[in-house]
Amino acid sequence: MFRKTCSWIRDMGCCSCFGFTRRKPKQALRPITGLNYRISRDFLLGDDIDDDDDDNSYNGEATNTADGDGGEMQNHAKRSEEIFRERELNGLICRQFPVKESNKLIRSEDENGTKMINEYVHVRKIGAGSYGKVVLYRSSLDGKHYAIKAFHKSHLSKLRVAPSETAMTDVRREVLIMKMLQHPNIVNLIEVIDDPNSDHFYMVLEYVEGKWDNDGFGQPGAIGESMARKYLRDIVSGLMYLHGHNVVHGDIKPDNLLVAPSGTVKIGDFSVSQVFEDDNDVLRRSPGTPVFTAPECCLGLTYGGKAADTWAVGVTLYYMIIGQYPFLGETLQDTYDKIVNNSLVFPDAMNPELRNLLEGLLCKDPTRRLTLNDVAKHTWVLGDNGPIPQYLCWCKRDRLRRDNTTQDSN
């Protein structure tokens, strides 16, 4: 049995942020038109749409929509490029070794007739992303497996995802972001293959094969508290690193959280991510997957990207524990309505500390929502493991080294 709960109010001091609205009228949602029931259900969970496993196929579904002024979008795209250039000039790229860039594409076959892209031998298709397919390849040089995201530049350049942005803009931004970052809980970009004489564009990523394990507890589809805590700590560590480098992921969800053989969770798919200067994380464009969308995003207003990421973490944790989504309707509009107006429900026997954490993450008021720093210090997250280990990233280590060198020279 599930029941509505408000016992947290005494501790959190917050009422309306969880949908206990004291008979307030429902808030108006953004208008959503042109989506029939079947298409809406595909969008709700961000299900991959399968395509044929050949080199001319692509997934033409964009997982996001656009709102706001076109000039604003164009200016933001320009700002992103400028931010990257400035960081590169100032040595703020957080990688010890740069991403390999190849501007020559050689399509061939090995001695067994298997298709090859440069040094990489085709193995099998492993999925479809927002704008293209993901294929498993094996390097003929080091023997390792890599996940390669394949795109068609001509198609993406025609697929408009905002008034002044195309899907190709998103892919280019994804590459720039991943070229800047490196963290144990983030999928690593190895190489970019972009031949100006070819319509094909490839991102070579570390291959992370793994899925969530069920520890024998919870509802069907859930993984139980112990495993969920372990995974959440990795997610928070990776996302705190991103936010600390002024990057908003924009599409945190189970499909984008890969589990390595060691059990480490790595955040992947930066196709709708954004980068900002300072703490200016204001967005207007809709995020990636509707069922993980924060209430403030459903209202067609500007919203803070970091707080929206944190909400998505809450939805992900809820799903890990209960095996269901907290707010899921029959259509896209119905889902948005539930996200904005419905209250949370929990199993009667849920751990009070865990429920307190979920209530804080899924606070409908972003100004009252828990921050990632709050989450990292939460008693349920600490458990018997203590604080989440602090990661001293490359750019901070390099900055400390340069500062120490300067002090020694003086």
pLDDT (0 to 100) of residue 70: 42
pLDDT (0 to 100) of residue 95: 85
Q: Which residues contact 296 (CB under 8 A, 6 or more apart)?
A: 303, 304, 307, 308, 366
**Sequence-ordered strand ranges (E) for 220-371:** 247-248, 257-259, 265-267, 274-275, 282-283, 303-304, 345-347
Distance of CA 186 to the CA centre of its chain: 10
Task: Report how far apart, in Å, the C-alpha atoms of 200 and of each of 121, 175, 208, 376 are.
Answer: 16, 15, 23, 41
Q: 160-162 and 165-166 as β-strands: parallel, antiparallel, unpaired?
A: antiparallel
pLDDT (0 to 100) of residue 283: 82
Taking each continuous run of H as one helix and of E as one strand, the counts in the chain are: 13, 18
Task: Give CA–CA dist 98/190, Å, rounded.
Answer: 9
Task: Report how far apart, in Å, the C-alpha atoms of 191 and of each of 104, 108, 183, 268, 339 are.
Answer: 12, 19, 16, 15, 39
- Spell out the alpha helix ranges (H) of 276-328: 295-298, 305-322
**Per-residue tokens: 244:** 């600390």
In order along its 410 residues, the chain shows pLDDT tens digits of 444 433 333 333 333 333 333 334 456 565 444 344 444 455 566 654 444 444 433 233 333 333 444 444 445 555 666 777 777 666 667 888 889 999 999 999 999 999 999 999 999 998 876 678 899 999 999 999 999 999 999 999 998 877 778 889 889 989 999 998 999 999 999 999 999 999 999 999 999 987 776 555 545 557 889 999 999 999 999 999 999 988 999 999 998 999 999 999 999 999 888 888 777 888 876 667 899 999 998 887 788 999 999 999 999 999 999 999 999 999 888 999 999 999 999 998 899 999 999 999 999 999 999 999 999 999 999 998 899 988 888 877 766 766 666 666 65
Q: Which residues contact 346 (CB under 8 A, 6 or more apart)?
A: 2, 3, 5, 322, 355, 358
Task: Give CA–CA dist 19/10, Å, rounded.
Answer: 16
Task: Give CA–CA dist 270/80, Å, rounded.
Answer: 14
pTM equals 0.80
* Euclidean distance between the first and the last CA atom of the chain, given in angstroms as a whole number: 69
**Per-residue tokens: 320:** 């890990």
Q: 161 — phi, psi (to 5°)?
A: -115, -5
Amino acid letter, residue 45:
L
Rg (CA), the chain: 22
Residues annotated in a binding site for ATP: 149
Q: Give CA torsion, residues 253, 79, 278, 280, to 10 deg.
A: -60
Given CA atoms 231, 232, 233, 238 in this order, what sign does their dihedral have?
positive
pLDDT (0 to 100) of residue 68: 40
Our CA angle for 384, 388, 392, nearest 5°, is: 150
**Sequence-ordered strand ranges (E) for 222-364:** 247-248, 257-259, 265-267, 274-275, 282-283, 303-304, 345-347
- DSSP category for residue 266: E
pLDDT (0 to 100) of residue 399: 67
Say if residues 180 and 229 touch (Cβ distance below 8 Å).
no
11 conformational bin, left if phi > 0, alpha if psi -120 to 50, beta if neither? alpha
Domains observed in the chain:
8-45+210-382 (1.10.510.10), 70-206 (3.30.200.20)
Q: Choose among 104, 80, 224: nearest CA to 164.
A: 80
Task: Report how far apart, in Å, the C-alpha atoms of 160 and of each of 39, 61, 65 are.
Answer: 18, 11, 9
Catalogue the active-site residues: 251
- DSSP category for residue 86: H
**Per-residue tokens: 149:** 């995201």
